Amino acid sequence: MSSVRRELTADEKKLIINLNNNNSTQQFIASTLNVSQSCISKFLKRWKCRRSVENLHRTGRPPKSDSKGDRRIIRHMKTHRKQTLAEITNCVNNILPQQPLSSRTVRRRLRYSGFTGRKIRKQIVISRVNRARRVSWCRQKLTWKIDDWKSVIFSDETQVVIGQNRKVYIWRKPHEVWRPGCRPISGGKCRKISVMFCGCICYQ
């Protein structure tokens, strides 16, 4: 029977100890559990030193960036929220003196801090005066019946931009949707082709 390299379970470790106490050879124990003889030898050596079948805490792979490097990643992202992940990674690697970071590492550091790439929200600009007028109009219509609404025509319009209606993504936290650096910049002139569509609906 060929042996395979794998991690021993708690029950297997207890069985190894019992067989070893019964003067079974390591070769016999290895063939019984279908593991290598070196695995049995190493486990028995650890068990004689610690007298425990539990594994020690594993620290895992050390992080490539320290706390100072993580702060620099967040600081650079906050000043360049519209950069792609590849652009942020290249800029960070030019700043940090340590070994180059991968895009997956930079994304992981951003996610740990709560930042993800999200589509930018278009702000609906309504003046304070119009806000008050709309609320007042709605309160006046609270007592309207169906017959009153039959005489009303509802209309709406939308603009479709041809060739330039692209989505813009930024790095932000969920609650930063209306922060100044996370909103589209108003103003500026650009040539574009657009079509306006208007629609109406009434009770009939």
Q: In this predicted model, what pLDDT tens digit does every residue of 111-167 receive, in sequence order? A: 888 898 888 777 667 888 999 999 999 999 999 999 999 999 999 999 887 766 567
- Provide the residue ranges of all domains of the chain, joining segments of one domain with +: 10-50, 67-113, 128-201
Q: What is the mean pLDDT of residues 190-197?
A: 79
Instruction: Please compute Rg for the chain using Cα positions.
Output: 33
Phi, psi of 15 (to 5 degrees): -65, -40
Q: Tell me the whole-structure pTM to 2 decimals.
A: 0.45
Q: In this predicted model, what pLDDT tens digit does every residue of 73-119 receive, in sequence order? A: 898 888 888 888 999 999 888 887 777 888 888 998 898 888 988 88
Cα–Cα distance, 93 to 81 (Å, whole number): 17
